[in-house]
Amino acid sequence: MQWLRMASILLLWVGGCRMAVASDASNALMLGNVERSGWPDALTSQANLDTASRAEVLMFAKALLASEALDEEGLEQQLGLPHVQLRSIRHVRDGLWDGLLTTYRNASQNCDEQPFCPRVRSVADLRQLAAAFTGDISPAHALWANKSLGVHEQLLNEQLRVAVLRP
Instruction: List CB contacts of 8: < 8 A, sequence separation 6 or more.
Output: 102, 103, 106, 107
Question: What pLDDT sits at residue 35?
Answer: 40
Query: Cβ atoms within 10 A of the Cβ of 6, count?
Result: 16
**Could you read off the pLDDT tens digit of each residue along the chain, which spans 167 residues?**
444 444 444 444 444 444 433 333 333 332 333 344 678 888 888 888 888 999 999 999 999 999 999 999 999 999 999 999 889 999 999 999 999 999 999 999 888 878 888 889 999 999 999 999 988 888 888 888 888 899 999 999 999 999 888 86
The span from the CA of 61 to the CA of 133, in Å, is 9
Rg (CA), the chain: 16
Question: What pLDDT sits at residue 67?
Answer: 95
Residues in a beta bridge with 23: 29
Question: What pLDDT sits at residue 107?
Answer: 92
Instruction: List CB contacts of 136: < 8 A, sequence separation 6 or more.
Output: 142, 145
